[in-house]
Amino acid sequence: MKPASDNRSAKGSSKGLFKGVWRRRRELPDPPVVFDTMGAWLETPLGKTLLDTETGMLEPVLARVFGYHILQLGCSHRSLLNDSPVGHKILFAPEHLPGTEHPVASNESLPLASASVDAVLVHHALDFTPDSYRLLREAARVTMPGGKILIIGFNPLSSWGFRRLFHWRDRLPWNARFISCNRVTDWLRLLDFKIDRVVHGGYLLPLNHTRVVNSAPRLERVGRWLNTPTGAVYFIVACKQVMPITPIVSRWPRISTPVIVRPVGEVAGARRHIRKRAGKIPGAME
């Protein structure tokens, strides 16, 4: 028989190995790598189908968002703001991309003034950052009061999240964070946002095969009809609440107007004296 110490060491080594593999699987690549790799993945049949589903969820909401500036915080160079009526569209890139005019900036530290953007679209950016709450807080900072935040993220309670649990290779998008919808909505409420709408979509299986991709429209119709929160992605629409400010005005104490009351006899005597002087009473000249 093996000593107990050997058994404990074997369990400890296997546990450490499991934790090491789990930690390696959860590590995210650098933002430029994510930008390039996710851009290439969205060109695959599975990526295109999911992107079309997300665009269909986003279009009716974008059509009702107006203003001067709209910002997209994404995981690739693909812009989803082409159909937006807002004139100035902003999309930052983590590094300079040849052939594009995207400004370079970090999603966690935006070079924008506070309350300067009418709407912010967060397209899977929370899934590919080590500090998701910091990114969301930065998006909330630049959103003006009454503005909108639109968030599209991977749903861990789906077949895509199930595949992620058993996918041990560092491949995008399966090594994304897959933050739950409830956690994101809790963060938004902490940042003084009101949740207007939560929609789930992308009920296709996470298999990059032609037969599976071709069956995506039928599965999407069934999933929308059942309205189940098991789609590959969720779509959150939130509005930044405006806190009413009531000015404090100092009020002077009200002074009551004094009422002068004269006796009835005194008033009658005064009237009689006036009539005598006017000569209306006989004997007034005596």
What pLDDT, in 10s, does the model give residues 193-223? 999 999 999 998 888 888 888 888 888 888 8
Other Cβ atoms closer than 10 A to 128? 26
Confidence at residue 269, expressed as pLDDT on a 0 to 100 scale: 65
- Asked if pLDDT for residue 19 goes beyond 50, the answer is no
**Arithmetic mean of pLDDT over the chain:** 82
Are the beta carbons of 56 and 18 closer than 8 angstroms?
Answer: no
Of the candidates 174, 173, 177, the one whose C-alpha atom is nearest the C-alpha of residue 37 is 173
Confidence at residue 201, expressed as pLDDT on a 0 to 100 scale: 93
- Asked if pLDDT for residue 270 goes beyond 70, the answer is no
Strand pairing class (193-201; 233-240)? antiparallel
Q: Between residues 11 and 211, which one has the greater pLDDT?
A: 211
Confidence at residue 14, expressed as pLDDT on a 0 to 100 scale: 46
Distance, in Å, from the CA atom of 198 to the CA atom of 122, rounded to the nearest integer, reads: 14
Of the candidates 231, 173, 174, the one whose C-alpha atom is nearest the C-alpha of residue 201 is 231
- Asked if pLDDT for residue 8 goes beyond 90, the answer is no
Are the beta carbons of 242 and 146 closer than 8 angstroms?
Answer: yes
Confidence at residue 24, expressed as pLDDT on a 0 to 100 scale: 43
Six token digits for residue 225: 């009809």
Name every residue whose Cβ is closer than 8 Å to that of residue 196 and which is 6 or more positions away in sequence.
148, 237, 238, 239
Confidence at residue 252, expressed as pLDDT on a 0 to 100 scale: 65
What pLDDT, in 10s, does the model give residues 30-73? 888 888 889 899 999 999 999 999 999 999 999 999 999 999 99
Confidence at residue 170, expressed as pLDDT on a 0 to 100 scale: 67
Taking the chain, what is the end-to-end CA distance rounded to the nearest angstrom?
Answer: 148
Fold (topology level) of 14-240: Rossmann fold (3.40.50)
For the residues 236-249, what does the mean pLDDT come to? 78
pLDDT band for position 248 (cuts 50, 70, 90): low
Query: Any idea where the domains of the chain sit in the sequence?
Result: 14-240
Among 7-21, 130-144, 174-188, which stretch is predicted with the lowest mean pLDDT?
7-21
Task: Determine the 3-state secondary structure of 278 from DSSP.
Answer: coil
Are the beta carbons of 173 and 219 closer than 8 angstroms?
Answer: no
How many angstroms separate the Cα of 115 from the Cα of each of 89, 134, 141, 193? 16, 17, 6, 14
pTM: 0.75
pLDDT band for position 3 (cuts 50, 70, 90): low
Strand pairing class (143-154; 233-240)? antiparallel
- Asked if pLDDT for residue 234 goes beyond 60, the answer is yes
Distance, in Å, from the CA atom of 205 to the CA atom of 160, rounded to the nearest integer, reads: 7
Confidence at residue 286, expressed as pLDDT on a 0 to 100 scale: 44
- Asked if pLDDT for residue 177 goes beyond 50, the answer is yes
Distance, in Å, from the CA atom of 155 to the CA atom of 57, rounded to the nearest integer, reads: 15
What pLDDT, in 10s, does the model give residues 109-147? 999 999 999 999 999 999 999 899 999 999 999 999 999
Confidence at residue 22, expressed as pLDDT on a 0 to 100 scale: 40
Distance, in Å, from the CA atom of 141 to the CA atom of 21, rounded to the nearest integer, reads: 36
Selection from 29-33, 35-39, 154-158, 241-245 with the highest mean pLDDT: 154-158
